[in-house]
Structures are given as C-alpha cells and as structure tokens.
C-alpha cells in the first residue's frame, strides 16, 4: 500500500462497481492500481477513453463497446481484456490478436442459473402462468367458479394419460445438457436435439448420453422431426447469422398444438412475427421467452407482451445473485491473472 510502489504498479480499469463481495479482491491489493467507473450506470465512453490510457488491464461488461479506438487509447501497455460475460460479441477478436491482448471471459459459471430459468419457463408456459397470475392480480378469481378443466394446461411431467414425454433441444451444449438433467425426474423419456450442422451425427455419443442421463432415448435429428415430436422445445444455441430465425413459421406449424417453446438463448433465433401467429392461431400451446428480438426496447404494446399464452422475462437467465457474484469474481481473477502474468481461470483462446 506504500507510496513507493505507486509508480510501478500496473493500472487496471474497471467499467462497473462489481459489488462488495468482489471489489475487495481488486481494491485490497497493493500490486495493482485500480480505477473504477464511479456511477451505477453504463460506463461513460469519454471517461473510459481518458482513463484507459496506459492501462495494463481492462475489465468490461457486455454493455461496453470494445473497438480499435478504445484499444488505441489504452496504448501498447494493454495486456489483458476481461469481460464479465460468457458472450464476446462486443469484442473485436482480430484487433486483440493483432495487439497480443489476452481475453478473459466467464463461461460455465452461468450454466445452472440459465438451466433453472429454462425449467421455470417450460413450466410457466405449460401451466398458463401468465394467464392465471393475471386472473389473481386483476381480482377475477372470485368470479371464476371451479370447473373440471378450468386453467388446465399440458403437464410437463409424464402421466398415465401421456407416459411418453419428449424434449427437443436446438443446441446441445452445456446449458442444454444441464436443462436435460433437471428434466429427467419429471419422467422424460426421449431427448431429441438439433446440433451444429457442421459436425457429423454420432450415434455412439447419443447412446452414451442416454446412459449418462438414464433416458431410454437421446438422438440427434433434423429440425422438422424435432418440431413434430417434442412436447417442449428448448432454444439454447448461440446467436448470430447462422441460427437466425431457426424457429420460423414452418417450424412452429410442425409443432404439436399441446407443445410449448422456450427460448433462453438469443432473441434472433425465433421469428417473432411467426411466433405471434403461432400463439394467436393456437398452432402451439404457449411460449416462455427470456430473450426477444429488439430487447430491451420492448414496449407494453408489443404483440407478445399482450399475448396471454406468452411468458416474457427481461433476460434474467444468468441473473442470480450467486452466478453474478461468480461471474464478477472470475472476471476479476482473469484480469489479475493477465496483468500479473499468471494463469487466467478462463482465457478465451479462439483468437490464437
């Protein structure tokens, strides 16, 4: 902490207060100089361009734009960029590679938080959560006399009526598999998934998955079969042009009228207009969305906001206290590791 080390300490810039559990990891060190954006708002670009000058490390959020201008402002001292996110859409990978800047990110740590939300949305979409909570909220419960099938939706769990339950996954990475693991005790019998078209089908791997999850059947299939056979479809693939509108009108028309659609990945994977029609015309039972094209600029008159069979969350997949603390801690450790020349807990090596 002594003044004598001040001039030799590497500077790190952090674009957001990371909370009382994480900030001491940075602020209580005497071998780095820490500069933190002081407001609880998006980091101001002008402030950042000024303060990043001469920094060795930079810790950013998904909401910060990282570009050549910012990297130039930092100058040749910059050795590491640490983002508190699993995504790196906001980071220009070639620019980092050109400057030999290491990149840290926060994969895996959010897997369970998102899988929890995927299960929650599947249940909410099936059991009409949006519709029935509105009945209570609007004081209509006393006016709705009981009847045998009032408020009923399809059951996620297996039943004597439907002993077979099939879940379909668009994308079959860590989050999808964590979601699948949670579905098994609901009596799931079949898991279908549509994988990356660039990788070949692997029946031996499917059989190994079936054994590992204790399921009668795990199989990679085409999108048409996945749509037609699934009781619940989970969209859990990366965003970007390759997956844009993978759930379109043709997909939705193939789905069962009692099936539900869950999107906890990126809004771009689902064609919003097609989903509005699918819900209004009852091609499918319901939808649960944590993400939506155009978010966060979603107004109260958005057709899906007004759709009673659609549950909409404001992108809270990873928004659990534990996960955000874990992400902040990993981002801080990535920053320190890169600045001090140590190992980084999660270094993105796709740039190399």
Task: Give residues 128-187 in contact with a copy of itself (rule: CB under 8 A).
Answer: 128-130, 132-133, 135-139, 141-142, 144-162, 181-182, 184-187
Question: Binding residues for a copy of itself, how many (CB under 8 A)?
Answer: 84
The C-alpha atoms of residue 103 and residue 346 are separated, in whole angstroms, by 9
Restricting to residues 232-291, which ones interact with a copy of itself according to CB under 8 A?
258
62 counts as binding a copy of itself under rule CB under 8 A: yes
Provide the token pair at 24.
């001491």
Annotated catalytic residue: which of 90, 162, 302, 315?
315
Q: Given the complex with a copy of itself, which of 218 and 223 has the nearer CB atom? A: 218
Stretch that binds a copy of itself, among 36-44, 218-226, 238-246, 270-278 (CB under 8 A): 36-44
Cβ-contact 167, 188 below 8 angstroms: yes
Stretch that binds a copy of itself, among 27-35, 38-46, 190-198, 270-278 (CB under 8 A): 38-46
Q: Given the complex with a copy of itself, which of 60 and 223 has the nearer CB atom? A: 60
Only one residue has tokens 């928004």, namely 319
CB of 157 to a copy of itself, least distance (A): 4
CB of 221 to a copy of itself, least distance (A): 24
212 counts as binding a copy of itself under rule CB under 8 A: no
* HSE-up (13 A, CA, CB side) for residue 302: 17
Provide the token pair at 154.
């399809």
CA nearest neighbour of 187 among 226, 161, 205: 161
Residues in CB range of 4: below 8 A, 6 or more apart? none
Cβ-contact 172, 199 below 8 angstroms: no
CB of 307 to a copy of itself, least distance (A): 11
Among 33, 112, 229, 307, binds a copy of itself (CB under 8 A): 112
CB of 180 to a copy of itself, least distance (A): 9
Question: Could you report how far apart the first and last alpha carbons of the chain are, in Å?
Answer: 36
Given strand 310-312, what is the order of strands in its sheet? Answer: 217-220, 190-194, 166-170, 232-235, 260-263, 286-289, 310-312
Cβ-contact 233, 170 below 8 angstroms: yes
309 counts as binding a copy of itself under rule CB under 8 A: no
314 counts as binding a copy of itself under rule CB under 8 A: yes
Restricting to residues 73-102, which ones interact with a copy of itself according to CB under 8 A?
84
Only one residue has tokens 């949305």, namely 121
Q: Is position 315 annotated as part of the catalytic site?
A: yes
The C-alpha atoms of residue 237 and residue 248 are separated, in whole angstroms, by 15
Q: Given the complex with a copy of itself, which of 95 and 130 has the nearer CB atom? A: 130
Q: Give the residue numbers marked as catalytic.
A: 315
């Amino acid at each position: 902490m002594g003044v004598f080390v001040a001039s030799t300490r590497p500077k790190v810039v952090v674009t957001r207060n990371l909370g009382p559990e994480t900030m001491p990891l940075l602020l209580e060190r005497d071998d780095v100089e820490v500069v933190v954006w002081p407001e609880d708002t998006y980091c101001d670009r002008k402030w950042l361009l000024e303060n990043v000058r001469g920094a060795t490390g930079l810790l950013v959020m998904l909401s910060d734009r990282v570009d050549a201008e910012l990297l130039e402002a930092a100058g040749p001292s910059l050795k590491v960029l640490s983002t508190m996110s699993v995504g790196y859409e906001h980071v220009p990978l070639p620019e980092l590679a050109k400057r030999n800047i290491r990149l840290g990110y926060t994969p895996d740590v959010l897997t369970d938080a998102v899988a929890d939300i995927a299960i929650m949305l599947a249940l909410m979409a099936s059991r009409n959560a949006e519709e029935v909570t509105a009945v209570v909220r609007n004081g209509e419960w006393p006016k709705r006399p009981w009847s045998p099938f009032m408020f009923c939706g399809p059951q996620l769990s297996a039943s004597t009526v439907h002993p077979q339950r099939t879940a379909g996954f668009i994308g079959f990475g860590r989050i999808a598999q964590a979601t699948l693991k949670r579905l098994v005790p609901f009596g799931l019998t079949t898991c279908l998934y549509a994988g990356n078209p660039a990788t070949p089908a692997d029946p031996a791997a499917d059989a190994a998955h079936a054994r590992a999850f204790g399921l009668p059947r795990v199989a990679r299939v085409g999108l048409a079969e996945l749509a037609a056979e699934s009781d619940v479809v989970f969209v859990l693939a990366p965003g970007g042009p390759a997956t844009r509108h993978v759930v379109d009108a043709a997909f939705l028309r193939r789905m069962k009228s009692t099936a539900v659609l869950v999107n906890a990945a990126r809004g771009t994977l689902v064609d919003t207009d097609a989903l509005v029609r699918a819900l209004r015309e009852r091609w499918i039972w319901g939808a649960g969305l944590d993400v939506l094209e155009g978010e966060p600029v979603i107004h109260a008159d958005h057709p899906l906001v007004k759709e009673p069979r659609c549950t909409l969350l404001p992108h809270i997949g990873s928004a659990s206290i534990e996960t955000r603390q874990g992400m902040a801690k990993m981002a801080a450790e990535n920053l320190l590791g890169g600045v001090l020349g140590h190992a980084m807990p999660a270094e993105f090596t796709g740039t190399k």
